[in-house]
């Protein structure tokens, strides 16, 4: 399989560069060689390529043109038989997140095999019966032992009558452990359905709500 970013279907030497890599792989060429040979032949093509063969070998690269950009990121992780690779560009975020975002994406992809204490971001799941309550400031109360969200407190005065789609947790809210110790902070808004102060996923097919939190600043 061959994918990529920018324009991986952009014409190279007579055929799209992603097709060229796939053709080489189908002829038995090593995935790394295929990716680099195709991109080296057309250094100014606006493409980055990521490929995986039937044996699970992953290779990726950006053309010289893409390498000159200042908004490109890449990451590869491996844990046992599980591998993850990422190419991205033109996704902008606040400067204080730059050192975290790529690692966080890796954490999300490898969440089932990375121990919580090895992640750059923590992933919390909504505990059954978690309620949305009103308070003087926004905060999320969690249990670090179960990785569950226990209570969500909001300073939004409209929470008392909240119903339907709602931002139940705002970006930047502090996250505290159940004993009151500040634990981390919220990396993103969490949108959910609210009914009688109970919180439900927007989609009934999704069994839970996940929250990603960053390290203390």
DSSP 70-123: SSEEEEEEEETTEEEEEEEES----GGGHHHHHHHHHHHHTTTTS-GGG-SSEE
Tokens 């204490």 label which residue? Answer: 117
List, for residues 1-46, the tens digit of each pLDDT value: 999 999 999 999 899 999 999 999 999 999 999 999 999 999 999 9
pTM equals 0.58
- pLDDT value, residue 217: 43
List, for residues 58-93, the tens digit of each pLDDT value: 999 999 999 999 889 898 988 777 888 999 998 877
Indicate the average pLDDT of the chain: 84
Higher pLDDT residue, 16 or 159? 16
Instruction: Check pLDDT > 80 for residue 208.
Output: no
Q: Are 203 and 209 in contact (CB under 8 A)?
A: no
148 pLDDT tier (thresholds 50, 70, 90)? confident
Mean pLDDT of 182-189: 79
190 pLDDT tier (thresholds 50, 70, 90)? confident
- pLDDT value, residue 40: 97
Mean pLDDT of 108-122: 59
CA atoms of 1 and 153, how far apart (whole Å): 46
- pLDDT value, residue 68: 94
Q: Which of 160, 153, 156 is nearest to 139 (CA)?
A: 153
Mean pLDDT of 172-177: 87
Could you give the percent of the chain with pLDDT greater than 90? 38
């Amino acid at each position: 399989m061959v994918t990529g970013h920018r324009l991986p279907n952009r014409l190279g030497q007579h055929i799209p560069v992603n097709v060229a890599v796939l053709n080489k792989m189908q002829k038995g060429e090593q995935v790394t060689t295929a990716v680099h040979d195709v991109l080296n032949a057309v250094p100014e093509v606006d493409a980055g390529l990521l490929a995986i063969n039937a044996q699970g070998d992953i290779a990726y690269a950006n053309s010289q043109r893409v390498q000159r950009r200042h908004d490109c990121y890449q990451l590869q992780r491996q844990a046992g038989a599980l591998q993850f690779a990422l190419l991205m560009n033109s996704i902008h975020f606040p400067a204080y997140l730059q050192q975290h975002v790529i690692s966080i994406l890796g954490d999300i992809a490898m969440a089932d095999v990375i121990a919580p204490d090895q992640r750059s971001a923590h992933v919390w799941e909504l505990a059954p019966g978690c309620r949305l309550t009103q308070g003087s400031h926004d905060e999320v109360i969690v249990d670090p032992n179960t990785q569950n969200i226990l209570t969500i407190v909001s300073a939004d005065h409209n929470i008392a009558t909240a119903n339907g789609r709602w931002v139940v947790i705002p970006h930047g809210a502090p996250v505290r452990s159940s004993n009151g110790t500040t634990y981390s902070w919220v990396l993103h808004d969490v949108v959910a359905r609210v009914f009688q102060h109970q919180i439900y996923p927007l989609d009934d097919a999704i069994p839970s709500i996940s929250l990603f939190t960053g390290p203390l600043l």
